[in-house]
Amino acid sequence: MSHWIKIDIKENWRTGLKHSPPLAAVSEKDRPLYLAARPGDILWFYAIRPVRGIVGFAKIEKKYKDEKKLIFLPELRMRKVLFPLRFRLSDIHAGDYKTWMDSHINIGDFKLDWTVEFQPLLDEHSKKLIRRAEKQFDMDFLALKEYMNSAA
């Protein structure tokens, strides 16, 4: 199992996680990485504007392409699907979006390429992030059955 990070604006995370079923999406420029992601992999939610940190995570349940349904704020503004490569998410762990400013995980020390919206996490980063999530979200990652086989 791999761990991925998706960087997006707070409003897109709010919209995607409230959607039924919950989802995340990437643009065609991220196709090679999208193809590498697999159901069962972990997707970490990094929110920007105004938050700057991890606000939750989920398992990738399914991948699909949708070039018709406008869901995210930039798509609605431009009246065009900008993120057709979509992930259906399950086993979501994210607090209420209203608390994200105060209850996010800082990963500035990971030295990621912040211009890349979707990228794999190194094993060492996955392990650090799991420890930080356990502390920040007051949870035991390994005790969650849905994540038992995916812990780094």
Q: If pLDDT is split at 50, 70 and 90, which confidence band does 140 have?
A: confident
Domains present along the chain, CATH in parentheses: 3-147 (3.10.590.10)
Q: Which of 79-88, 131-140, 143-152 has the highest mean pLDDT?
A: 79-88
> In the prediction, which pLDDT does 146 show?
60
* Encoded tokens for 118: 């979707």
The reply to whether the predicted model has a pTM over 0.75 is yes
> Does residue 87 carry a pLDDT above 90?
yes
What pLDDT, in 10s, does the model give residues 1-57? Answer: 899 999 999 999 999 999 999 999 999 999 999 999 999 999 999 999 889 999 999
- Interatomic CA distance for residues 63 and 127, integer angstroms: 25
Burial of residue 77, with CB atoms counted within 10 A of its CB: 0-12 exposed, 13-18 middle, 19 or more buried: exposed
